[in-house]
Structure 1
């Protein structure tokens, strides 16, 4: 909630579901109000680690990649962020081990999403 007050947040998933279904799921969870943009695998031609989804999201938000941080818990999240030219934040609460994510050289690694407010890349916002 705090992030969405100061930043434009987008959610990108490589699940092959219509955007409307994703938005319905987010609404059911009470998260829909935090995201300015959503994208699914059906919205792009090339899946992650291609940067296509990130670049498409940035364009829809009118945000330059230099003002973007990609936060993800998988190797392909970090790779796609790097390929897009964005700063990257790896979250260790997913399926990948810390060593695996470190190999991708994210700009920052956090233990769980609750630590996002402590990320130096975002500190100036708060």
Structure 2
């Protein structure tokens, strides 16, 4: 039986996990083509969003409560939406060459064999 503050925290944590999954799906749609730029952008975004979420949870969510079932449904929607957007980004950037920074070590290993 989950009750009290523990129960309230679970919904918020589930929702934040879904948000991070959404961002990571978007990141993986771009990172193999533009590795350095995408790493810089995701670092800045995750750092800024982490701070804003921590601050925003106190102001916008009453007493930090989100029902876990609502969070689960929101997570499913976020993951499905992130997957669709990731697919679109991959199609959009299909013609660009793979990033040498991302695959440089693997290519060097293969050429030395």
State the TM bucket, normalised to the shorter chain. under 0.3
TM-score relative to the length of structure 2: 0.22
**Bigger radius of gyration, 1 or 2?**
2
Structure (1 or 2) with the greater strand fraction = 1
- Asked which structure has the greater RCO (Cα within 8 Å, sep 6+), the reply is 2
